[in-house]
Amino acid sequence: MTLNHDDARPFPGLSRIGALLADPGRAAMLWALMDGTARPAGELTMIAGISPSAASGHFARLIESGLLALEVSGRHRYYRIATPDIAMAIEALANLAQASAPLREPVEAHRQAPRRASAVPLDMRYARTCYDHLAGELAVRLFERMLTSEWLEVVPGTAADPARPGPTSLDATARGIDAFSQMGIDLKEQKARRRRFACTCIDWSERRPHLGGALGAAFLDACTEHGWVETTSRRRILRVTPSGEQHFAGVLGGE
């Protein structure tokens, strides 16, 4: 039987994106931007371990593909991950890479790449950022409690549906609306944003979902504003404050 060309290649852009991410330098640049920041070309070039002359071509390809966005401030050029959905896709790929990597890997082939969970520092495993939302063991446990406490529910038709690949979409219940409002999160405002309201995001170190989307970002903002978590000198790693430990213990009590 002869396959129709369109049937054989339903996602013609997939191999193109795969080729872009296959380059260790470009992958290192993207992974470095997973803390949600915008960084200058020179810094990303050093992270990737490539020459400035080679970097311009890499930046051009990543922008053309829609993976990176450029921000210009005077004579300075800053690069960031183009959209939250792209960041979630990178996190999912990191999870896949971490799960399928051989026990011994060439160091140079995986510069700046996520390491096996057993090799990840405990503070990074516990609480970190995933682009603009909370990730790590704490995030996974809080998300599971949100589900068991019926703050969130799966949007019908989006869970484990082959016709709808990607993260599972979520919505807030009446109980969740009240709980998030008490934290100062305006759900109407978050639903009005031009991005997914709430969805699962597979955590690369825990290999279980945490909360993503606009609600996930708002939740991290609220945790920061309440003083429950704070940034550290190490990128992406968050510190849970004493008041945060007390608050989260109350939320997670009885697990």
**Residue 6: inside a domain, yes or no?**
no
**What is the per-residue pLDDT for 118?**
53
Same domain flag for 128 and 241: yes
- pLDDT digit string (tens) for 129-179? 998 999 999 999 999 999 999 999 999 876 654 444 467 899 999 999 999
pLDDT of amino acid 89 = 86
On whether both 157 and 40 belong to a single domain, the answer is: no
CATH number, domain of 23, equals 1.10.10.10
Asked if 35 and 131 sit in the same domain, the reply is no
User: Does residue 235 share a domain with residue 165?
Assistant: yes
Domain assignment present for 175:
yes
pLDDT in tens, 101-126: 554 444 444 444 455 555 566 878 99
pLDDT of 147 reads 95
pTM of the model: 0.76
Residues 206 and 134: their CA atoms lie apart, in Å, by: 13
Asked if residue 1 has pLDDT above 50, the reply is: no
In a domain, 226, yes or no: yes
Same domain, yes or no: 69 and 169: no
Same domain for 171 and 242:
yes
Spell out the alpha helix ranges (H) of 1-160: 5-8, 14-22, 24-32, 41-48, 52-64, 84-100, 122-126, 137-148
Q: Please report whether residue 93 resides in a domain.
A: no
Q: Which residues contact 176 (CB under 8 A, 6 or more apart)?
A: 146, 150, 151, 152
Alpha-carbon span 160 to 183, nearest angstrom: 31
What phi and psi, each to the nearest 5 degrees, are found at residue 44?
A: -70, -35
Number of domains composing the chain: 2
For residues 79 and 125, membership in a common domain is answered with: no
- CB-facing half-sphere around the CA of 184: CA atoms within 13 A: 10
Residue 222: which domain range? 120-252
Query: pLDDT value at position 236?
Result: 87
